[in-house]
Structure formats: structure tokens, C-alpha cells
Structure 1
Amino acid sequence: MTSTTGRTSTQLAQRAASTLATAGISAADVLTAGLARRGLPAARALGADSADIRRFTIGSPYERDGAFRNLEPAEPQVDADLRVVLDMARRPGRPRRPVEVLRPDFAEEAGDLRATWLGHASVLVELDGVRILTDPVFSARCSPSQLVGPARMHAAPASVADLPPVDVVLISHDHYDHLDMATVVDLAERAPHTRFVTAIGVGAHLIAWGIAADRIEQADWWEERTIVVGGTSLTFTCCPARHFSGRGLSRNLTQWSSWVVAGPSHRMFFSGDTGFSDRFEEITTRVGPVDLTLIAVGAYDPLWPEVHVNPEEAIAVHRMLTGDRVRDAVMIPIHWGTFNLARHSWADPIARLLPSAEANTSTVVVPPPGGGVDVVHRTGTAMRNPAWWEASA
């Protein structure tokens, strides 16, 4: 059948499916959004509407015509066809054997610089005695509905109830694999003292889910927010990333970001989601080199190189951010192995990352889900079996 515009129904379906290929909105999301408007429970997961978001984003120098833009020149968009969507649902992106999952070993007192990988972009970081949880997603699927959408390829190492007291939840942007309504609402309800730090506009979603506005700090690129926990002051600097945002059919209403968190003695960098950019050198110039980097290394594809770094680019970003500390700093790879979001094999990110790290004098520690590392002392469960991932590859 041919439409009045001359496009076949297959061509229209392929164009619609291309949304999934660029990260963010699956065909299931589109269906759920339509059902949500009819009052189904998934409506709440979509978050705030554009008017509520706009209250926080209006006036940003990085917003034009109601939408945010990357600093780099826009690259030509390449539409994926239906075959890409099918490729992502097939076996190549999944592990061949069950993934080792450890029960996290959380110390009673927060350490100087420790990190526990909880899957995808969720990391519990202990920095100068303060606990920071990045992009917490503990649900079975990263989707507005737990009936459809990308499912976990390994169990969550911990539930919210298993966590030690979390002082700050740090959220990079509003995609479903980084902002999970069920997890953040559970965190807010169980720990009334927990603060939330995020990019401008994203806080509107949290408020829509019942989290009090006075618990939320929002920042635009290069803005700082200070959180004081038990007498320790941490500075959260919202830094550029090269990505996009959106939980429904409208994109880029909220800002996306990377973050530098600086305490009295240590600094860490959290990439969120990003493509490669030379602007990461500017972060080091403005804020200083960091001791720990959490950098996304998965979900890359030739069709969307501008929004997800590949493993070699991740090492380059790590070196930009650590500067003269590169020999002592540690990188922990994130955003791989938990959800199947691209066409590369399950182990490809780490199989490529480690040789690049060795060639570039960079220290990379690859924890299994639930594994941790003490960056200062180079100890922890992540150090006991560094080749654990090979058993699942």
C-alpha cells in the first residue's frame, strides 16, 4: 500500500523504527506514550510535560527555539531501517553465558574514594566520606513500561533497600536507561535526607513524581552546585556532553550533562551519555584533573557515532580528564553489559577497551556487576578476577 506522499507503509515503519537506533525512544515507547494518554499507569513514567520543564530551562544560553543543542556542529542524520532494530534484538548483543553478579560489599563508613558498579551507568561512589549514586536504574527494563522495552541481561546486584545511606543521587539526563522513575521514587521515600543533583529541566520529572523541589539541585553547563554532608562540602560542576534527551516523542526539552564532583581531597568525573568531543579538555582546564573517571563505553554504532563514544574514544576522554594524574587515576567503564542497546557484541566494549588502555598508559578496572574498587588502595572485589567478563563473552 502506498500513502498519498508516495511512501510505502514499510518505508514509514522503517523511519519510525529509526528512533530506536539513535537511543532513546523505542517503538514500544511510542506505543506506551499513546496508551498513557488514555490513562494507563505508564503515563506517570513519562514525567513532566513541556510547560513544567520550560519553567526551569527558559533563558539557558544553550537552548534555542525551545530545544537544547550540542556545542559541536550538527552531523548529517543517518536513518536506520528496520533491520537495525531487529539486529539489536538478536543474540550478538547478549552474553553467551550468565553474567557473574556479586553481592556488593558496602562498608559501614563511606571511604575516601571507592566505587561499586551496580550495572549500566549506576555506580555508588564514596568520595571523601560522602556517598553519591549515579543514574540509578534497578528496574527490570529501561522503559516507561515494565512489559516492553530493553530488559536487563543480568540481575541487579542490589535493590534500593540493600544500599547504605545515599547522600546524593546524581542524574546525567532523562533517558529511561539513566532516569528510572521506580528507582528514584524508592530512593526518595526510603531516605528523606537524600539530595538530587541533575541537569536543568530534569528536575521537573522528579517533582512530577512527588520529590520535593527543595531536595533537588539543577544546573546548566558550567554551573556549580554545592552540597554539604556532615560538614564535608562537595562541588558538583555540570559539564558539557554530546548527546540528546527525551522521554516521549519530543526531544531535547531538558539538558544532558557530564559531571565533575570535587571534594576536599578527591575529584571524580561521570560521563553520563556522550559522544566524543575535544571539549573534555576544557573541563580539565576549568575544574582540574580528576582521580576517577566513570565513562560510558558501550552502545556505540557507526550509525550514531556522535552520541556514544566507542572504547578507544573513551580512553582518549579519560586521558583528557586526568591530565598529569593519568598514571595514578583509575577509569571504571560503565554503560555496557546490562542492556542491549546497540549492535556490537556483549564483550566488544571491554575487548577493545583494555588494549587501548594499555597502549595509552591508562589504568582501567572492570568490575563485575556488584564489584567494587578502592581507588586509593587498589583493593576490592573488582581486583580479584579482572578477566571475569571473558567467561560470559
Structure 2
Amino acid sequence: MRTTVQFVGGPTALLDLGGVRLLTDPTFDPPGDHPIGNRVLVKHIGPAVMPEDVGRVDAVLLSHDQHPDNLDDLGREFVGRAPLVLGTAGSAERLGGTARELPLWQSVTVGDVRITGVPARHGPMGSEHLTGEVRGFVLSAPDGPRVYVSGDNASLGIVQEIADNLGPIDIAVLFGGRGRSTLMDAYLTLGADQMARAAEILDASIVVPIHVDGWGHFTETRDDVPAAFAKHGLADRLVMPAPGEVVILTE
């Protein structure tokens, strides 16, 4: 099965699995400030592809809606027009429209692609009441690769759980950046070294890191990723599309 990815920017990527087009965490706003509670998240890099240029989307895979670096203002407009939005129960309730909960370890089918909801934890153990619920996804299709989309997950233990239950994983789309904010004295997403370790756990032959730069609360950048994967002997697994670029992952 031909599988491609187009990197839009931040956590936003367009995955095409045999003609089924799935968009992750829509973020299309230009650089600027995004207030959230008593904090302000600052976006430094705008999208490489605008909403009107994305084309047909069969479903949105929304890890969570409560943080503007995963769903911003223009992203909210986009999901309002999407035929299907899959995510957490809270996202479905808050967004309404075509947003639906995809419960943990349960699946729906879009075209020929089976989409399974998997856990994600947006910070250390016990942080869920502060960061909110987050969803990851595993995608599979007949004669196609198995794809893991992590969402904002900071737990390698959860990665192991997914590998144990739904492995083997062929392609891992991992959210990184080692995000940190004044919300708590802890990291909220994987760092580059942890992404490499996640690739080892999953035994994924292709790893696509996204959400690795572009925001002020990130403590790492896109440039940190290749060195970390080289350190673990995984440089040949790394695929890092330039913003806007479409890359063929499998034929």
C-alpha cells in the first residue's frame, strides 16, 4: 500500500494510506501569542500548508483540543468542516459537530483503514488532572503498514503497552519537543532521546518526528533529533520531511 506523509507544521501532518487521508492535530494559525488560563503559549513558526490547500480529508485524528499548540483557532474552523473528528470524550463534548470519542483500545474503520484509540499521557504520572485526557492512534489496513500516531505522550511505559498490545508497528509518528511550561515542574512530551528509545521499543522501521519545534515552551528543536537517533544507531529509520513536503513512506 502506498503511504505518504505531508508535514504541515507543529503537530499537523497529512497521512495518506492508500487514498484514505487523515490529518493530525490541525494547527494553521500564524505565529503569535495563545493565552491559555494564566499562561501564554507563543508560536514561532506558521504552517507550510494552509487549510484551503490541504485538500480532501476523510478524518481528523485529534489527540486533544485543550491546548492551542494542538488545536488553534484556524484548526478549530477546520475541524468544524471535517467529515469526522476522532479523539477523547472531552473533545467530542466540547467541539460537537462531527467530533466523536474513540475509546481506548476500540476501533472504527474509515475506508480501508482501521483506527484504534490508544493511551497517551501528557506529562508525568498523576498529571492528568492538570493536562487533561489525550489520545493516541494506531492505523492499520489490509496489505498496508501499521502506523502509530503518539499524540502528546510523555510516557515510554505507554509506548511499551502499545507495542505489547498492537505491535508490530511499521511507522511511528512521534510528537516531541520535550515541552515544558509553568503548569508544572516536569516535561510534558517526549524529548529526542526518548523518541529514539520509543522507536526501539516499537521496533518501527520508519520514524517521523513532528511537533518538535515552533513553540516557545519547547526545550528542544528539530535539530536535536538526528543526533539522538544516530546515538542509538537508528539514523537510517528517521524520516524528517521539510515543511510542506510530501514523502513516500511505503509503496
TM-score (norm 2): 0.83
Name the SS of the counterpart of 2:120 in structure 1: coil
1:115 aligns with 2:5: yes
Alignment partners' CA distance in 1, 2:160 and 2:110: 28
Deviation at 1:127, TM superposition (A): 1.2
Between Structure 1 and Structure 2, the one with more strand by share is 2
The verdict on how the C-alpha distance between 1:301 and 1:176 changes in structure 2, with shifts beyond 3 A counting, is closer
What is the aligned counterpart of 1:161 among 45, 49, 52? 52
Deviation at 1:114, TM superposition (A): 0.5
Alignment partners' CA distance in 2, 1:330 and 1:203: 31
Percent of residue pairs identical:
24
Letter in 1 for 2:100: E
What is the aligned counterpart of 2:85 among 196, 210, 213? 196
2:64 maps to what in 1?
173
Alignment partners' CA distance in 2, 1:280 and 1:347: 21
1:340 maps to what in 2?
216
1:186 maps to what in 2?
78
Please list every run of 5 or more consecutive structure 1 residues that lacks an aligned counterpart in the other structure: 1-110, 245-249, 378-393
- The C-alpha deviation readout for 1:246-282, integer Å capped at 9, x for no partner, is xxxx835x52122111122222111111113223222
1:143 maps to what in 2?
34
What is the aligned counterpart of 2:116 among 234, 237, 242? 237
Please list every run of 5 or more consecutive structure 2 residues that lacks an aligned counterpart in the other structure: 124-128
What is the aligned counterpart of 1:372 among 243, 246, 251? 246
The verdict on how the C-alpha distance between 1:220 and 1:181 changes in structure 2, with shifts beyond 3 A counting, is farther
1:26 maps to what in 2?
none
TM-score (norm 1): 0.55
Alignment partners' CA distance in 2, 1:314 and 1:139: 26
Deviation at 1:343, TM superposition (A): 3.7
Alignment partners' CA distance in 1, 2:178 and 2:191: 8
1:308 maps to what in 2?
189
Alignment partners' CA distance in 2, 1:196 and 1:130: 14
8 Å Cα contact 2:107-2:115 kept in structure 1: yes
Q: How does 1:25-64 map to 2 (within 5 A)?
A: none
1:352 aligns with 2:243: no
C-alpha RMSD of the superposition = 2.6
2:157 maps to what in 1?
278
8 Å Cα contact 2:193-2:225 kept in structure 1: no
